[in-house]
Amino acid sequence: MIKTFRGILDDGEQEVIRLSTKKGKIGYRIVKFQCMQDGFGNSEMVVKIFKVTQTAITSSIDFSDGNLLAACMISGSSGAEAYPEDVTIIFDQKIFNQDIYITAAASSSADPTNYYIELEMETLSDNAAAVSTLRDIRLNPQVGA
């Protein structure tokens, strides 16, 4: 089964998508992640999906961060003949069973950016649910703080 989520983010914003359950027996995997400007304006935005809430919203992308699930870099200009739209999207196939956090950060001035996410749902065994939850807790420095 596929669940979809969509929204619009402005520079410096963060949204949470509530996915966690009491027993953590539902796992999710990103199967599609897309970003689009909100119109024909200027945009240089980085939209990222994380396993944990972010205290600092930045436009830098670090694939060594174990909490980063996906990144989308979009750039476009109202003068499209000189600066055509360019979008780069990369996402991980990891299964997670906790809430996810979407951030947006501009490198310069940018119009709001739309996002669209498709998550594939699957039922996890007791062992898989425990491993996924414990892995996410270990990666999250804010738990127990």
Q: How many CA atoms lie within 13 A of 18 on its CB side?
A: 2
CATH (residue range 2-139): 2.60.120
Q: How many CB atoms sit inside 10 A of residue 35's CB?
A: 22
pLDDT, tens only, 10-19? 999 999 999 9
Instruction: Find out whether 46 and 71 touch, Cβ atoms under 8 Å.
Output: yes
pLDDT, tens only, 31-54? 999 988 887 777 788 999 999 999
Secondary structure element (H or E) that encloses residue 71, with its range = strand 68-76
More confident residue, 79 or 88: 88
Q: How many CB atoms sit inside 10 A of residue 19's CB?
A: 18
Q: How far apart are CA 67 and CA 123, in angstroms?
A: 22
Any idea which residue has 């930045």 for tokens? 58
Give the pLDDT score at 68. 93
More confident residue, 85 or 110: 110
In 3D space, the residue among 53, 45, 41 whose CA is nearest the CA of residue 17 turns out to be 53
Give the pLDDT score at 143. 46
Q: Where are the domains of the chain?
A: 2-139
Q: How far apart are CA 77 and CA 41, in angstroms?
A: 6
Give the pLDDT score at 23. 78
